[in-house]
Every structure is written in structure tokens, then in C-alpha cells.
Amino acid sequence: MAGKTLDRRKFLTRSLLLGCSAAASPLWTPVSFAAAPWDARMVVIILRGAMDGLDVVQPWGDPAFAQLRPGAPRPGTEGGPKDLDGYFALHPGLARLMPLWRAGELGFVHAVSTPYRDKRSHFTGQDILEAGVADEAASVRSDGWLNRMLQQVPGVTAETTYAIGRGDMLLTRGTAPVSDWSPDASLGIDASALRRMDVMMHEDPLFRDNLGEAIVLSGLADSAALSVGDMAGDMAGDMAGGMTGDMAMSGGASPRRELKEMAAAARNSGVAQIAAFAAEKLRGDARIASFSLNGWDTHASQERTIAAPLERLESVILGLKEGLGPIWGKTGVIAMTEFGRTAATNGTGGTDHGTGGAMLLAGGALRGGKVYGDWPGLAEEALYVRRDLMPTRDVRAHAAWIMRGLFGLSIPDLEAAIFPGLEMGSEPGLVL
């Protein structure tokens, strides 16, 4: 290092980008895999942040929907939702999935939820979803329903060659062997660490601005993990504003737009990695894959904020289909979220934490081309506590019926060991 110096700007930016690079991926957790003695494959995607099922699968056939969502584009309008069956329409952010719908390889289940009610905490809701148990039981569970499913099957082995990253996804935690792989094996920075760094660097504009720059470039600025304002957003805004003069002098484009584009490119690259790697493993010995996509917490400006997570979900589904090739015909994909959102939009053009929501189904092994579920209606008296879509069936029941159809698991095992206390009810016919 003699004769060379590394200034604070380069040191901090490089260090933070190394630490934040994992957050540039849309994952909260590594991708997890397990091999099992089946020919069928299953992919479970946790949509963290509470996806608004009413926005993704829009019930235009219900006259109350237009009143609850004033100004929403109607099916048949330019840039509007895509008609599915004359009653429901698909958000335009998933328009590239319409060929799958027409081929019977994409479907949805509406008005579903876990047993969680009223408190509407993301953390508790996700624990209940991944633990696969009733509300009061989630706090004492240390394993997830996908791992308990693997425990019922003799001969399950882990994909140990790809044991990279941190195995902190409750869904797959348990005694059955499961390997973890992360698209980037660097350390992430959580919200509390970022706030401590903000306090430490607040009085030093150079350090503070570079922290903001690294946050934006890593994609943390619009992550659902940071929901208090955000410190990252404020700092990134200050940083971008400070850069305006320099970039204007050089004839550059808007600094905010360029930074957002860079962050989006990083996230989309991570999505491509996830889909490609999952497809590669599922073409081999792996039979189960699970991962998370975040960004679904749309409290404000939902029309804008939901666009990015929809694009990532769409890209993952299409990437899996392309990468799996003929194996797609043996695959069932389930995308599920911790709870839905309010039936009506709020004063900031977003939606708040709700109850009933929707799950997405895809894959050649499932019977798509249909919106499943018992639709409760959106009239005020039909809403849960007069504010949320009323859940008419447990989301766990649909996951259970899919596992029974794909893997032949018994109803007693599904209702007692895998999803304790669940009553699966009548078979919805989700698996071909």
C-alpha cells in the first residue's frame, strides 16, 4: 500500500456495497432445496410484505370493487388489467403470464388466509404462514411446515453441494435435511444496523452521503425491511439531491432515476439467478425449492410501488418455466403471502394491512386457467370487520391438497403432523 491512499469515499462505498450486496437480491432468505423420492417438483414462494390479492386478481364482476378502488383502470382499457374469466382480471404487471393462464398453467385462489386475525403484524403473520400452525401455536414452533412434510418421507437427502448462506427461513427449518444456497454469499445489513450507522455518521456529510448511495445501489432504500420513514430513503434523497449539480454539469440524466435504475437492475439480476439456479437443481435430484420475494407492503402510492414486486414475481415464474423445460410439466408452484390488505384504498393511494388475500398457482402439474375459492363479495356487510376481504378458506388447505396430489401424502399426516389442527375440507382439484 506504500504510495497509495484510499479515500473515505471509496473505502466506505466499496465496503457498504460488499455488505449490502445480498440485499440487492429480492430475497430475505437463501433459496432452499431438498431431494426426495418423487418425480414431481414443488416450488414454494413466500411473498413477504402482504401482497394485495384484490389488486393482483381484481374482481371487476363485483359491483363494490369499483367503489372501493376508485380510479382503477378497467379491463379492456389501455394499460388496464387483463380479463381472466369475465369476473376477475389480472393486474397488468403480470400480463406476460397470460399465455400460461390460457394454457392452464397459471391459476389463483382468492379469499384465503392463515388463521391469523386482527393484529396484522408482518413478523407474526409470516411466522404463522411458515410454521403452518394456528395463531396461538406459532410462537412455540421452531420448525416449518415444509420441513415437517419432508420428515414424513423416508430417504430424503439434502443437496449438500450447495450449502451456502444462512438457513434462517422458518418454512424449511427442522430436523429433515435441507441445503441452503444464496445468490450472493456476502453479509447483509439489517435495519437496526443501518440506523446505528446513521447515528455514527450523521455529523459527517461525506460518510452520511456515501451510506445513502450504497443503500440505494443495493436496493435497500425501497425494501420492506425498512419501514420507518425511511432513514434510507431520506438519506438517499439527500444524497441524490446533492449529486444533482455534479450530474447536471456533466449533462447526465436525473440522479434519482439513474440510481433507481441501477438498483432495479441489481434486483432483477438476482431474480434471474434465483430462477436459473432453482431450475437447474430441480432438473436434477432436487424436488423441492423455496424462497422469498419481498416488497409487497404497499401502504402508499400502490400503483407505483407494486410494480417492481410484480415484475420480479412474473420474471421468476417465466424463468422457472424456461429453465425447467419438460420438467415444468411435473412442477407445481405456490406463491403465498402472510395476509391480504384492506378492501378500500387509503388516503395516500395505498392499502393497509388486512385479512383475506390471494395465492398464485403455476406449473404444468397444476390445473390452472381458473380462479378458485368461495368468493364472499365486497359489500360492506360481507367484509371482515367491515374493512377486509373475508377469508373463506385456510390457505394451508390448498397447500395441503397440492402436496397430497403431487406427492401422495396422507390426509392424516397433512392435518396432524404437517399442518397441526388443519381441516383440509373438500378437495378443490388443483392437481392434474
Please name each of the domains of the chain with its CATH number. 26-187+257-418 (3.40.720), 190-254 (no CATH)
Evaluate if pTM is beyond 0.85: no
What pLDDT digit, counting tens, does each position of 245-295 carry? 333 333 445 555 665 565 566 566 678 888 898 899 999 988 989 988 989
How many whole angstroms separate alpha carbon 358 and alpha carbon 417?
A: 25
pLDDT at 421: 92
Confidence of residue 16 (pLDDT cuts 50, 70, 90): very low
Q: Are 146 and 290 in contact (CB under 8 A)?
A: yes
The predicted model gives 180-205 an average pLDDT of 59
67-71, 154-158, 368-372, 425-429: which range is least confident on average? 154-158
Confidence of residue 173 (pLDDT cuts 50, 70, 90): confident
Q: Is the pLDDT of residue 427 over 70?
A: yes
pLDDT at 222: 42
Is the Cα torsion angle 160, 165, 167, 172 positive or negative in sign? negative
The predicted model gives 211-230 an average pLDDT of 42
Which residue in the block uniquely carries the three cell numbers 393482483?
56
Terminus-to-terminus CA distance in the chain, angstroms? 64
Residues 6+ apart with CB under 8 A from 381: none
